[in-house]
Amino acid sequence: MIDRDRFPVDPWRLVETEFSLDDVGVTETIFAVGNGYLGLRGNHPEGRHALEHGTFINGFHEVFPIRHAEQAFGFAETGQTIVNAPDAKVMRVYVDDEPLAFDVADVREYERVLDFRTGVLTRHVRWMTPSGKDVVIDFDRMVSFEEKHLAVMRVTVTVLNADAPVTVNCQLINRQDGEDVYGGTPKPHAAAGFDPRKTEKFHERVLQPQEYWQDGLRSALAYRVAESGMTLALVADHVIETENEYSARTLVEPDIAKNVFRVQAKAGVPVTVTKLVSYHTSRGVPARELVDRGRRTLDRVLGEGVHTPFERQAAWCEAFWQRSDVQIGGRDDLQQATRWCLFQLAQAAARADSLGVSAKGVSGSGYSGHYFWDTEIYVLPFLAYTTPQWARNALRMRYLMLPAARRRAAMLNEAGALFPWRTINGEEASAYYAAGTAQYHINADVSFALAKYVRATDDTEFLYREGVDIAVETARLWATLGFWRFTENGDPETFHIHGVTGPDEYTTVVNDNLFTNVMARFNLRFAARTVREMAADAPDEYVAMLDRLSLDPAEADAWDAAAEAMHIPYSEALGIHPQDAVFLEREVWDLENTPRSQRPLLLNFHPLVIYRYQVLKQADVVLALFLQGNHFTPIEKLNDFEYYDPLTTGDSTLSAVVQAILAAEVGYQELAEHYFEQSIFVDLGDLHHNASDGVHVASAGGVWTALVSGFGGMRDHYGELSFDPRLPAGWDSLAYTLHWRGTQLKVSLTADELSIAAGEGEDVELSVRGTAYTAVAGQTLTVPLDGQGPVIAGRPTLGMLAESRRDDGSRLSASVPTSTATTAIPTIDDGLSPVETVADVRAPDDHDSGR
């Protein structure tokens, strides 16, 4: 699926050996650099050919009123979209006043490398100019992980065979509003004849100039976003290093600043221009103040030396890999892709600080820069186990959103807080409630992530001061959203939650969605337990919390009662958990006879049609089997997996990682690998044809979880660490690092044994396949393994429903869904489907249902 001539395998680097205009959008994404706050797409510094000249700053957004074709009470009102910030990436090189233009240039050498150890994007070009000059151009670009606001770009030009005038033209460009005469690239959406950001939603000018100036080699542009009022300043400084003679010229206008260096280059004498750029943004501070901040940033950085940021970047990366690397023995191809994914997580989360991690991180404008549950369910496990501070930062984002979430709950007629399905500023931004607001499970997802973080870190300080507010307010929502059914005697019997949408957006607004119910149950219990633990452990904080939240401790009893009585749909006849109250009443979608041209379903069928069938966009029950795995028996997991796997289209990139984890657990080991490869190459192989929109950050996070929990078999239910490994047959080993309550655990897995080397700190209690062990600090625990769990070949098929495969009574042979008994039951190849199964899938941008 990847052209290995052009992108050769390299365990520590993503390497491109050949320039191409064919997939410029994809390479902009996979070569993007960022730090979670600031992101620069992998545009070439020439500033020409691009799908999107992208510079994205986490949370830097514009707002607009959402206009519904038909309005109704409570529909989301505030549209939000990330704004493409002014572009500082352009550093154009001219030799003899000829520009380097890839579409026509005679390029003799080309290599572009994203190096995961240095944290730098480099590009090496050797160019024979039309007048015969043999020129080497080396370009470096980084966004500092240490200095949140800093990006550094550096170009070195050497004319090898002659003296020649060399020009390096460094620019800052506001492409959002300025007339783009510099790159010749059409603005996004403009071609479609309907640019929602221009023609109706937005102020004529999104970025309103506040300041623009130059001083020596320093340039600055500053703006205010028309409607959101956010401010932005970028300040750039330039350092030229050469033994050639040169002169510098400048130009500044509201939408462009140029620093141009004209060099009389001698043959073989290099010229290096380094451009340091600081981006500062704010929701309230005037742009002028941000300019000052930018100047201070640059002063400080330059004080340490113009190239020092590159050294610090490498050191930062070394530390990152020290605590975060996952090693796959014997599979360099997977190793490379794994590290690329983990590096993306760093690029999306490292400096997100108390902003969120958006669906695309800072690598693209897909999903309008919105935060979804992706952060909590897909990214946070990696953060909590490798760099807990990042996890805490991400959770604080939700804490800061609580006021808006309380208002939203009230608007939806419930108590407590309801987090938005998609947002930047905390307000619900989903314009399609059925696959948006109806996903109440976001509340439980946030609480689940909070609990995971707290258990992995023991950070009760955060829990008791801020986290508890999240736990309580989300539980309160469940308590009023759900309702009791009573026995004929009038005793409360079961607790139900109606009218919600689960993770699988191919059915919406259902009753008793299994995922929602089990996660809400967790949420209720977690809140109740937290309240009680606070009462015992932290009486002062407890009293303050009761007051702050106007909490009656009896509420916790009600939460426990609701959790205890939570209705969990189960079909005795089939021995499986229905996805919702009437899921099994639906017809089964005939996926086998759905032509490839009609995939993904959401782009080819009206929602009313899709919703009518048993067909899944992404794992739903199966995700519950993982997240709440301690509440399901192994046979239940196997039955459920076998039922849902053939119904799951994987039209969302959030699906394959989950299917991989459960496939590994229940024994479909080959299938688990298959799903894993669909996840790990989702962007590098552009498997869903939308990598150009930005990195699939949630999928990247899921890759870590698939490795650690899927193949590594790690679970942490109730804060108890356990391992039940499933090393794929073709892998020599799997090694990863966990941080468990301050102790670093280096876990290493082979076919025969699991070893856990504990670092400094407390001893760690854990279990391996049901046997308890203690990983003593400073020692290595080695547990021999007898195989890698059950092994089932092929993949489940719908046909299995009609078979009596087991005699344990959990599945009755005749009890197939009546709707499919005599209609043709579609079957899927018994062997693994080729990866092209999803290769034709294109998820649309900007749709709740699109991932």
What residues line the site for its own copies (CB under 8 A)? 66-75, 79, 199-200, 411-413, 430-434, 436-438, 483-488, 490, 492-493, 496, 498-499, 509, 511, 581-582, 585-587, 602-609, 611-612, 814, 818-819, 821-823, 846-849
Residues 693, 365: contact at Cβ < 8 Å?
yes
For 193, the token pair is 């004849």
Distances, alpha carbon 792 to alpha carbons 279, 664, 788, in Å: 53, 10, 12
User: How far apart are alpha carbons 748 and 754 in whole angstroms?
Assistant: 6
The DSSP bridge partners found for residue 165 are: 264
Q: In the complex, what is the shortest distance from the CB of residue 673 to its own copies, in angstroms, rounded to a whole number? A: 33
In degrees and rounded to multiples of 5, residue 408 shows phi and psi of -65, -40
Cα four-point dihedral sign 21, 138, 238, 105:
negative
Mark 229-247 as b/e (b = at least 16 C-beta within 10 Å): ebbbbbbbbbebebebebe
Based on the residue annotation, tell me whether 204 is a catalytic residue of this protein.
Answer: no
Helix (H) or strand (E) holding 628: none
User: How far apart are alpha carbons 80 and 312 in whole angstroms?
Assistant: 35
Q: In the complex, what is the shortest distance from the CB of residue 151 to its own copies, in angstroms, rounded to a whole number? A: 34
Which of 187, 612 has the CB closer to its own copies? 612
Which of 322, 480 has the CB closer to its own copies? 480
Q: In the complex, what is the shortest distance from the CB of residue 80 to its own copies, in angstroms, rounded to a whole number? A: 13
Which of 511, 810 has the CB closer to its own copies? 511
In degrees and rounded to multiples of 5, residue 675 shows phi and psi of -65, -40
Which residue type, as a one-letter code, is found at position 66? I
Q: In the complex, what is the shortest distance from the CB of residue 226 to its own copies, in angstroms, rounded to a whole number? A: 17
In degrees and rounded to multiples of 5, residue 693 shows phi and psi of -75, -15
Residues 812, 802: contact at Cβ < 8 Å?
no
Helix (H) or strand (E) holding 83: none
User: Is residue 600 reached through a cis peptide bond, with omega within 30 degrees of 0 on the bond before it?
Assistant: yes
Q: Could you say which of 505, 642, 670, 677 is catalytic?
A: 505
Closest C-alpha to 341, from 706, 27, 700: 700
Q: In the complex, what is the shortest distance from the CB of residue 526 to its own copies, in angstroms, rounded to a whole number? A: 25
Which of 165, 196 has the CB closer to its own copies? 196
Which residue type, as a one-letter code, is found at position 326? V
Which of 341, 610 has the CB closer to its own copies? 610
User: How far apart are alpha carbons 746 and 684 in whole angstroms?
Assistant: 28
User: How far apart are alpha carbons 374 and 683 in whole angstroms?
Assistant: 16
Residues 36, 347: contact at Cβ < 8 Å?
yes
Residues 408, 443: contact at Cβ < 8 Å?
no
Which residue type, as a one-letter code, is found at position 282? S
User: How far apart are alpha carbons 613 and 776 in whole angstroms?
Assistant: 52
Closest C-alpha to 717, from 425, 475, 448: 448
Which of 181, 814 has the CB closer to its own copies? 814
Which of 464, 605 has the CB closer to its own copies? 605
User: How far apart are alpha carbons 507 and 501 in whole angstroms?
Assistant: 7
Which of 363, 614 has the CB closer to its own copies? 614
Q: In the complex, what is the shortest distance from the CB of residue 707 to its own copies, in angstroms, rounded to a whole number? A: 34
| CA angle (52 as vertex; 49, 58 as ends), nearest 5 | 145
Which of 477, 680 has the CB closer to its own copies? 477
By residue count, the chain amounts to: 851
Helix (H) or strand (E) holding 405: helix 402-411
The DSSP bridge partners found for residue 282 are: 231
Distance of CA 473 to the CA centre of its chain: 26
User: How far apart are alpha carbons 631 and 291 in whole angstroms?
Assistant: 54
Which of 159, 816 has the CB closer to its own copies? 816
List the catalytic residues: 505
